[in-house]
Amino acid sequence: MSPSEVLVTGGRGALGSEVVDRLCAAGCEVRVLSRSGKPGTVRGDLATGTGLDEAVRGVDAIVHCASNPFRKARQTEVGGTERLIRAAARAGVSRFVYVSIVGVDRNPHYFYYQAKLEAERVVERSAVPWTILRATQFHDFLLKGLNTLEVGPITIVPRGFLFQPADIGEVAGRLTELALSEPAGRVPDFAGPQVRIAAELAHAYLEATGQRKRILEIPIPGKLGRAFREGAQTCPQGERGRVTWEEFLYRRRDAATGRISSVYDRTDRTERESHARRTG
C-alpha cells in the first residue's frame, strides 16, 4: 500500500526529518506539521489544536514523531496526541503511526515515560486505525548525553545503566514501512543490536574521539535507577537493527578533528536560528 499523502509531526526534528526523507524517496507527498507554518510546512499547533483540522484534511496517514521530554512533556505527548487524533478521526484518516519508547511500562518512574505510556493509551482508544512502534534510545541521543556529561577531564555516567542503542535511520526506515502498510496495532519493538553498560558506551566514545578522560560512574538511587540497571529500556525480544555503537561513532567521526557529529547538531541549530528570528 502506498498512501498518496502523509502528514509527519515533528518533521523538522531528528527522527521526523529522517522519516520525511524516506517517505519522499518512496514517492509520497509529505506534509510537515509546524507551529510556525514556515515555508515547506503546514501550520498546526498540537498544544492548542489550532490548525489541526486543516493540516490533516485529505491525508491518508499520519506519522506522529513530535515529542517533548522536558517541561511540557504531558501537554505535548498526551494533550497533543489527543487533539491530533481527534482531528484525524474527523478527517477520516486511515492510518495513524505513533512512535514510543521501549520499556515505558516497565519504568514509569520518569515523568516523560509516564506521558509516552499515557499517549499510547490515547492512540489505542481511538477510532482511527493505528500502529504503535516502541524503539530503544537512539545512538544520537546517547551521544548528546555523553557530550553533556563531559566535565573537564571527566566523563560522568550513571553506574550500571543498561542501554540498547538503535540507529535513528533504521528506526525511521521501520516507521516508513509502517506508514505504507495496513494498521497493525502494537508491532514488535525495535532495538539496536547490542545491550551495553553506560560506562562501555563512554569508553568507546572516548576512544573514537581520541580523548583521555576518566570515566566516573555515579550511582543513581531509587526506582528509576533500579529500572535502568535491570534493563527496563532494553529489548530482549522484537526486531533488531544492525548498526552498532562503534559503527555509528566511526561513521560520524570527522577524520581531521576527531569530532563526532549528531543529527541533533542540525536540529538544535535550526531551533536556535528559529528562536533568533522570533526574538530578533
Q: What is the 3-state secondary structure (H, E, C) of the chain?
A: CCCCEEEEECCCCHHHHHHHHHHHHCCCEEEEEECCCCCCCEECCCCCCCCHHHHHCCCCEEEECCCCCCCCHHHHHHHHHHHHHHHHHHHCCCEEEEEEECCCCCCCCCHHHHHHHHHHHHHHHCCCCEEEEEECCEHHHHHHHHHHCEECCEEEEECCCEECCECHHHHHHHHHHHHCCCCCEECCCEECCCCEEHHHHHHHHHHHHCCCCEEEEECCCHHHHHHHHCCCCCCCCCEECCCCHHHHHHHHECCCCCCECCHHHHHHHHHHHHHHHHHC
pLDDT in tens, 230-239: 999 999 888 9
Q: The CATH number of the domain where 126 resides is what?
A: 3.40.50.720
Q: What pLDDT is recorded for position 263?
A: 87
Average pLDDT over every residue of 27-49: 92
Model confidence at 276, pLDDT cuts 50, 70, 90, reads very low
Q: Which of 37-46, 54-63, 161-170, 260-269 has the lowest mean pLDDT?
A: 260-269
pLDDT in tens, 105-127: 999 889 999 999 999 999 999 99
Which residue segment(s) compose the domain that 45 sits in? 5-279
Tell me how many domains the chain contains. Answer: 1
Average pLDDT over every residue of 68-84: 90
Q: Which of 65-74, 142-151, 215-224 has the lowest mean pLDDT?
A: 65-74
